[in-house]
Amino acid sequence: MDDWKSKQGIYGAADPDDMDADVPLNDEARQPLSRKVSIASSKVNPYRMVIILRLFVLCVFLRYRILNPVPEAIPLWLTSIVCEIWFAVSWILDQFPKWYPIDRETYLDRLSLRYEREGEPSMLSPVDLFVSTVDPLKEPPLVTANTVLSILAVDYPVDKVSCYVSDDGASMLSFESLSETAEFARKWVPFCKKFNIEPRAPEFYFSRKVDYLKDKVQPTFVQERRAMKREYEEFKVRINALVSKAQKVPEEGWIMKDGTPWPGNNTRDHPGMIQVFLGHSGGLDTEGNELPRLVYVSREKRPGFQHHKKAGAMNRQIRVSAVLTNAPFMLNLDCDHYINNSKAIRESMCFLMDPQVGRKVCYVQFPQRFDGIDAHDRYANRNTVFFDVSLYSSQSHLHYA
């Protein structure tokens, strides 16, 4: 990683302050890109007291269970004791980040000052983003499309972003829906960047019950938003038509538009498939600007071989990306994990590309949020204690390649 950064001129293997010798040491760009923010004891201490109380009750319960065996069913009693101790240890380990929570603040302006100088190419690190899906009838293509669209519209240099969609079910439905998504992205991405909208997943943007005119000053916004919503509704109709068509598989198998059989008709015995839908050498948006790279990947499968499910699919994504883009950082998302903050990649780079702490950081996780939950959240599906108290809690993560 240091070798790559040295070649890019980001910083040398020696002192990071050796770079930009012409910039004064007290310049804003020299300052750290992030900092720890202390959390008031008044917010943390009540939960710590709850942890202590629960720990006391847990110790009393385990003492009673251990000292009172069941002679008539010793094997079952011993099994239950082992399970209870296991769950107790798991719970205790889960309390460590909650006992001493850490909050951090990033400085995106400093990141831009350091790595995006005016009149020079951006020095921000490239990122490969991986999206995994298997069965489009269980994981709706429209959900996957929203995840992909939120990736393509991120606030990051387009030549630094590449999205790889893994279709481990070798489904022609996934392939065709991704093709439709690529076409819609030509209109959606420039709209997002022109009006700086959030979130950049159209399904969730158009369904939000908020004042969408807030902070919008362009006179054409209302008209263009209305036109874009109509375009999205038509896009949804096309995706739904593909889903309806895929409900009944033809006896001869699926046939592609060029008349050739779909290579993935036999999902357990088919060759590998790679299709670049959008790339840096082509695929412009409606305003003539480049779009991030979008690649469809379906790994080869043969009978008699262990394919290791999602882990194997991700390994193939890494191998394909190593040939096409070979970015030093990877961001992994499930097909239903859209990016609700277009600056999320920049936020993570404030840790990974910080000259002081970047050498010690190789893994960044984002808090996870949930849509479609009732206002009272009676079943605690938001998991606010875990995701709002602890920084390190998510299923979406960015790390070194």
pLDDT in tens, 272-286: 889 989 876 667 888
Residues 134-186: tens digit of each pLDDT = 888 888 999 999 999 999 999 999 989 999 999 988 889 999 999 999 999 99
Report the sign of the C-alpha dihedral through residues 130, 133, 139, 144, in that order: positive
- Strand ranges for 72-135 from DSSP E: 103-106, 127-133
Min mean pLDDT across 9-23, 129-143, 158-172, 215-229 is at: 9-23
pLDDT(18) > 70 = no
Rounded to whole angstroms, the Cα distance separating 191 from 257 reads: 30
Rounded to whole angstroms, the Cα distance separating 301 from 264 reads: 9
pLDDT(385) > 60 = no
Q: Report the percentage of the chain scoring pLDDT > 90.
A: 37
pLDDT(335) > 50 = yes
Strands 127-133 and 161-167: parallel
At 390, is the pLDDT very low, low, confident or very high (cuts 50, 70, 90)? very low
pLDDT for res 6: 62
pLDDT(384) > 80 = no
For the chain, what is the total number of helices (H) and then of strands (E)? 11, 9
Can you say which residues are annotated as belonging to the binding site for Mn(2+)? 310, 334
Can you say which residues are annotated as belonging to the binding site for UDP-alpha-D-glucose? 132, 138-139, 168, 309
Judge contact between 184 and 235, C-beta under 8 A. Answer: yes
Average pLDDT over residues 125-129: 93
Can you say which residues are annotated as belonging to the binding site? 132, 138-139, 168, 309-310, 334
Using alpha carbons only, how large is the chain's radius of gyration in Å? 25
At 25, is the pLDDT very low, low, confident or very high (cuts 50, 70, 90)? very low
The angle, 0 to 180 degrees and rounded to 10, between the axes of the packed helices 74-99 and 41-67 is 170
pLDDT for res 113: 87
Q: Is the peptide bond before 199 cis (omega within 30 degrees of 0)?
A: yes
Rounded to whole angstroms, the Cα distance separating 143 from 243 reads: 12
Tell me which of 15 and 159 has the higher pLDDT.
159
Rounded to whole angstroms, the Cα distance separating 125 from 328 reads: 7
Average pLDDT over residues 384-399: 45
**Cα–Cα distance list, 2 to 6, 15, 16, 321, 400 (Å):** 6, 12, 11, 20, 12
pLDDT(16) > 60 = no
**Cα–Cα distance list, 28 to 68, 114, 353 (Å):** 65, 9, 16
Q: What is the DSSP letter of 288?
A: S
Judge contact between 174 and 141, C-beta under 8 A. Answer: yes
At 12, is the pLDDT very low, low, confident or very high (cuts 50, 70, 90)? very low
Q: What is the mean pLDDT of the chain?
A: 83
